[in-house]
């Protein structure tokens, strides 16, 4: 009441630890779809559509090489968005897991902090598995999809991207009472971001105001960062990273406060 609550590192870690304990029991059975989906896009669009794109690809890059890192970013968005929407909602309203946690020295604000970290971790885990796959596929088919050692920074970057989308998803979760309202979030936020943030075509080449609008959206920057790290970054990548960090930190404390008032009457 009145004071702004900030998650504690200890409490957030405990919540993260709970989630990873459960994940470790079930990861084999849930990894598959999360992993195959970006692969399907890569095959259908990267190879299928890519075959029709003129020699020279996009800005001199083969199309499949252009698409792959973008899918890495969008995959992180999907992983973190599912975690912070449906999974969080079930823990909040159906299984009442958070009600149990907040009777212990772990506070409501720590619950949200822990969920951010966990969604980021999950995005990084799936993303790294997908990254390893595209590296291997690239080598197998003689068409390298990742060409820079900077790509080693992709897993931590995917964690940051995951946290960003977790903050957005948690904000929506903190405002709704019914699980079916997520249809709005996915149709009006996640899907448009997926299609229009430069994963499949470079938005920067469009006339104004398309690039200007894209600049205000989170996935656009995530795609830029992933693409640059995969192929060797230019200094411009720092601006995208800064955008992600500023956006995430400005937004992060809002769901914390709302969720706290939901959990504590």
Partner 1 sequence: MNTETERTTGTLSGEHTLVALGLKKSYAGFEAVKGVDFRVSGGECFGFLGPNGAGKTTTMKMIYGAVIPTGGELTVAGLDVYHHEREIKRRIGVVPQENNLDDELKVEENLLIYGRYYDLPRKLVLRRAEELLDFMQLSEKAEATVEQLSGGMKRRLLIARALLNDPEIVVLDEPTTGLDPQARLLVWDRLRELTAEGKTLILTTHYMEEAARLCDRLVIMEGGLIIAEGTPGALVEEHVSPQVLEFRTDHRSLEELVPIIEAASDAVERTGDESILAYTEDADALLERVRGSGAKIENTVYRQAGLEDVFLRLTGRRLVE
Would you tell me which residues interact with partner 1 (CB under 8 A)? 1, 10, 14, 17-18, 21-22, 25-26, 95-97, 99-107, 263-265
CA triple 147-72-139, angle to 5 deg: 35
Nearer to partner 1, 132 or 264 (CB): 264
Nearer to partner 1, 5 or 221 (CB): 5
Closest CB 126 distance from partner 1, rounded Å = 20
Nearer to partner 1, 45 or 262 (CB): 262
Nearer to partner 1, 14 or 37 (CB): 14
Q: How far apart are CA 147 and CA 172, in angstroms?
A: 37
Structural tokens at position 143? 């068409």
Closest CB 169 distance from partner 1, rounded Å = 21
Closest CB 116 distance from partner 1, rounded Å = 18
Closest CB 21 distance from partner 1, rounded Å = 6
Cβ–Cβ under 8 Å, residues 170 and 177: no
Cβ–Cβ under 8 Å, residues 116 and 167: yes
Phi and psi torsions of 61, nearest 5°: -100, 135
CA triple 163-191-49, angle to 5 deg: 110
């Amino acid at each position: 009441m009145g004071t702004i609550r900030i998650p504690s590192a200890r409490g957030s870690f405990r919540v993260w630890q709970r989630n990873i304990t459960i994940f470790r029991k079930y990861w084999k059975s849930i990894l598959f779809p999360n992993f195959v989906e970006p692969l399907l896009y890569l095959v259908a669009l990267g190879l299928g559509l890519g075959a029709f794109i003129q020699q020279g690809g996009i800005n001199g890059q083969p199309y499949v090489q252009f698409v792959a890192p973008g899918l890495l970013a969008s995959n992180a968005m999907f992983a973190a968005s599912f975690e912070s929407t449906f999974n969080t909602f079930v823990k909040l309203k159906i299984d009442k897991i958070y009600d149990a946690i907040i009777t212990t020295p772990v506070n409501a604000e720590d619950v949200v902090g822990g969920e951010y970290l966990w969604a980021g971790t999950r995005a990084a885990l799936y993303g790294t598995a997908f990254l390893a796959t595209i590296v291997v596929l690239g080598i197998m088919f003689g068409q390298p999809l990742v060409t820079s050692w900077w790509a080693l920074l992709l897993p931590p970057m995917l964690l940051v991207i995951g946290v960003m989308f977790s903050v957005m998803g948690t904000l929506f979760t903190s405002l709704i009472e019914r699980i079916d309202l997520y249809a709005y979030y996915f149709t009006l936020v996640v899907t448009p971001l997926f299609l229009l943030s430069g994963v499949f075509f470079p938005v920067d080449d469009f006339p104004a105001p398309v690039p200007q609008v894209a600049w205000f959206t989170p996935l656009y920057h995530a795609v830029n960062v992933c693409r640059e790290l995969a192929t060797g970054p230019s200094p411009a990548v720092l601006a995208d990273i800064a955008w992600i960090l500023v956006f995430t930190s400005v937004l992060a404390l809002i769901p914390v406060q709302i969720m706290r008032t939901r959990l504590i009457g």
